[in-house]
A and B are shown apart, each in its own frame.
Chain A
Amino acid sequence: MSSAASPAKIELRNVKKRFGPKVVLDGLNLTIPRGQSLVIIGGSGTGKSVTIKCVLGILKPDAGEIFVDGEEVTGLRGRARDTFLRKFGMLFQGAALFDSMTVWENVAFGLIQGRGVAKKQARDIAFETLAKVGLTADVGELYPSELSGGMQKRVGLARAIAADPEIIFFDEPTTGLDPIMSDVINDLIIATRAAGTTALSITHDLTSARKIADQIAMLYKGKIIWQGPTSEIDHSGNPYVDQFIHGRAVGPIKMEVKA
């Protein structure tokens, strides 16, 4: 990528979002360097998913700017937005597979509908991608409801990477999986990033975060309160981060029982 005016692939500046009286993002600043894997950690309901949805334009921030490849993207519409979205792939928390389609049709969907690839070619790519995530060809003909949670996640991953996106989002990639399947998914995430894609993940699974992240950022009360290389997470000197990574109930973070 030679057109690197700035080294940042994604940059969020002072992004604010609230739902009614509830402020979710309160001036969030975050930079994701090109080709790196950044993991946002933070408690439930701190706005991690909202951050990703703002970047994708599924939610519109109330204020602030979001840059992808140096281009401001919050106002994109029509064709420009279609082009912009082709840069992305996303693995959803619940996999979000289309239950009316077979596994291979799910994986080929972005190629056929989003990018106009011919059906036969898309089918070949879909089966290749399924093989990459360790699923055999016969799985491709099944429906998502016939698969276990771990297999659905793998299909979701295959769907996210099938079109070779520049940027991949992982929303709680290991939540709800057993520790071994979690590690399988972590390995697959690392493997899919070999080509130099930029990755943004959100998780509260620290084992996973340590494994897949180049950098970790902690989100608390709508702001990034700490960001640094994965190796420094254990000596961040930040009491909030310390409390979170050690999982202590007592500390500066007060659990808000009432949402």
Chain B
Amino acid sequence: MNFFAHVGRATLGLLREVGRLSVFTGDAVSSFVRPPIYWSLILKQIMRIGYFSLPVVGLTAFFTGAALALQIYMGTARFGAEQFVPTVVLIGILRELGPVIAGLMVAGRVAAAIAAELGTMRVTEQIDALTTLATRPIKYLVVPRLLAALISMPILVAIADAVGVFGGYIAATKSLGFTGSIYLSTTMQALTYQDVMSGLIKAVVFGFLIALMGTYNGFNSRGGAQGVGAATTNAVVSSSILILAANYILTYIFNFFNF
């Protein structure tokens, strides 16, 4: 087969995928507010997506904050600027590492779980069975997961922020010789509304991307165990890449508007 056929096929495949994803997203988002709204399912998913992610998000945020404090100390000590450690740790965690670390951890945990669950339901015809029982699969399966992720992620990131800053505090006071009260008061003085909000806005976007990639890949999985495996991998890989790409774009936008 010649070169142009390959390029053409790849392009068409990409466009088809983008189109399918757009239709899926449109379907899901337009079903957000239309009744019936399955409150109990949303709560159940908040438990699974949010609550059960707390340990892993908390632990990763703690160690990231602690390592960040050590690194920044190394960097700033060269210029005798060690006093900026609390401030830089704070901004780094709130604006960048809190949302990204939480996003990637939740992507690994939740996007995979959603894709595997919905993928298995697809290949065992449970999703078709929903239709024959006069229940819309998008409303029943996709919307609760999307809403739960949108609600859970900002809360998880807020907790990751607090734990991350605490990790920095522990590292600074235990290994770097900072005085606890001075570290804390510097942190409190540096704290701004914009730093917190920009991280939480990122969290909402990441939550949406995670649940969307999980449900989309699960919904479109094909052909048995192997297909479900592929869907799970795709969900984690695509949501991780999208999180990092969206993170750059959002950071750029916040910088542009001086937010």
Contact = CB atoms under 8 A, between A and B. Distances in A.
A115 interface: yes
Interface stretch (B87-95, B128-136, B200-208, B213-221): B128-136
B132 A94 contact: no
B133 A96 contact: no
B185 interface: no
Interface in A40-98: 53, 56-58, 82, 85-86, 88-90, 92-94, 96-98
Contacts of A56: 128, 131-132
Interface stretch (A106-114, A231-239, A247-255): A106-114
B124 A96 contact: yes
B134 A96 contact: no
A89 B132 contact: yes
A113 B126 contact: no
Interface string A93-126: 1101111000000000110011100000000000
A109 B133 contact: yes
A115 B128 CA distance: 17
Contact of B134 (A85, A93, A98, A160): A85
B134 A115 contact: yes
Which of A92, A97, A113, A159 has most B Cβ within 10 Å? A113
Contacts of A110: 132-135
B131 A159 contact: no
Nearest to A88: B132
B125 A92 contact: yes
Interface in B117-131: 121, 124-126, 128-129, 131
Contacts, number: 52
Interface residues of A, number: 25
Contacts of A58: 128, 131
Contact of B133 (A53, A57, A114): A114
B32 interface: no
B135 A109 contact: yes
Contacts of B131: 56-58, 85
Contacts of B63: none
B124 A114 contact: no
A85 B132 contact: yes
Contacts of B84: none
A92 B133 CA distance: 12
A86 B136 CA distance: 12
A114 B135 contact: yes
B47 to A, nearest CB: 14
Contacts of B132: 56, 85, 88-90, 110, 160, 169
B183 interface: no
Nearest to B120: A99
B140 interface: yes
A160 B124 CA distance: 16
Interface of A: 53, 56-58, 82, 85-86, 88-90, 92-94, 96-99, 109-110, 113-115, 159-160, 169
Given A88-B132, A92-B125, A114-B133, 13 more contacts: A57-B131, A58-B131, A82-B136, A85-B134, A90-B129, A93-B125, A96-B128, A99-B126, A109-B133, A109-B135, A110-B134, A159-B133, A169-B132
Top 5 closest pairs, chain A to chain B, by CB: A114-B134, A110-B133, A96-B125, A90-B132, A96-B129
26 contacts: A53-B128, A56-B128, A56-B131, A56-B132, A82-B134, A82-B136, A85-B131, A85-B134, A86-B134, A93-B125, A94-B125, A96-B125, A96-B126, A96-B128, A97-B126, A97-B129, A110-B134, A113-B133, A114-B133, A114-B134, A114-B135, A115-B134, A159-B129, A159-B133, A160-B132, A169-B132
